Structure formats: structure tokens, C-alpha cells
């Protein structure tokens, strides 16, 4: 098992989890917005994204959702779109959540290199749970 730089005992973080055919992450944070940010950072780490120097680029997205699982998949799918289509990786996340809508201002840089491609974010075994520490999720990526 490979661990991220953010370790288990920190308030927020992500950890790569061994998975038979695909890639998986366990993600945690005190708030739901922090969980989304850690999931985005974890996905970039799994893909081995390295950003280039230069001026940052800002993007704004809005996502409507029915539940936390749909929110997480839609959010990560948006980030994956920017990686694949815009060659852009986000390093800063300003997230605002209402009951059924996410507004995000994301700042990032062009991608210099990408080690591994992620095809999709899946709903396989996906559950966003509220725990005594905050929120936790297990996410599987199709590669």
C-alpha cells in the first residue's frame, strides 16, 4: 500500500488503497468541502500529475447534486475533464456548498507531465460517510 504525504492521523487527507483492477482512494476531512478538496488532490497524486511553472489559471464550476456520492463523482469528473481536455491541474480549491449545489473557484496550472491516465470516477462501492472525525469516502477510479 502506498501512502500519501498526508498521513492517517491528520485531520484531512487521502490514502491510496490497493484494488485488484483499478485504483482506489480513502479520503477524509472534517467538512464535506474539505473531503472534496482532498479527493481532488488524491486523484492528482494517483495520476502522478506534475504542474508547469507559469501564471495560474482560475476556473469556476457549479454542480447540482442529489446526494453526497453524486456530488463527489460529479466534482471529480469535472476535475478529470480539465486534466484531459484543458491540460490543467488544480492546486487551490475555494468551495461553497449549499443544500444541493456546489460553487467552486479552482486555481491551477498547466500539466507538465502525467504518469498514468484515469478513465473515469466510478460509483463502485462508493459511500460518503459522516464519522465522529467528519467525513470519509472510499473512491474507485477506472484506469
Q: Dump pLDDT digits (tens) for 3-48.
A: 344 455 678 887 777 656 578 999 999 999 999 999 999 999 999 9
Rounded percentage of the chain residues whose pLDDT exceeds 70 = 91
The fold for domain 13-142 equals: Archease, Possible Chaperone; Chain: A; domain 1 (3.55.10)
Set of cell numbers at residue 63: 454542480
Query: Does the pTM exceed 0.85?
Result: yes
Exposed/middle/buried for residue 2 (C-beta within 10 Å: 0-12, 13-18, 19+): exposed
Tell me: pLDDT of 52 over 70: yes
Around 8, how many Cα atoms within 13 Å sit in the side-chain half-sphere? 5
Rounded percentage of the chain residues whose pLDDT exceeds 90 = 80
Contact between residue 113 and residue 128 where contact means Cβ atoms under 8 Å apart: no
Amino acid at each position: 500500500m502506498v501512502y500519501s504525504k498526508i498521513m492517517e492521523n491528520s485531520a484531512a487527507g487521502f490514502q491510496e488503497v490497493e484494488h485488484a483492477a483499478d485504483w482506489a482512494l480513502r479520503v477524509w476531512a472534517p467538512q464535506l468541502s474539505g473531503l472534496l478538496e482532498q479527493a481532488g488532490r488524491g486523484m492528482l497524486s494517483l495520476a502522478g500529475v506534475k504542474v508547469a511553472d507559469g501564471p495560474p489559471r482560475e476556473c469556476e464550476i457549479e454542480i447540482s447534486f442529489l446526494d453526497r456520492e453524486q456530488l463527489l463523482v460529479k466534482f471529480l469528473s469535472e476535475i478529470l475533464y480539465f486534466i484531459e481536455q484543458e491540460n490543467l491541474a488544480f492546486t487551490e480549491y475555494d468551495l461553497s456548498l449549499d443544500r444541493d449545489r456546489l460553487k467552486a473557484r479552482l486555481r491551477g496550472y498547466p500539466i507538465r507531465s502525467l504518469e498514468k491516465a484515469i478513465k473515469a470516477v466510478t460509483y463502485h462501492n462508493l459511500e460518503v460517510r459522516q464519522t465522529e472525525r467528519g467525513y470519509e469516502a472510499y473512491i474507485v477510479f477506472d484506469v
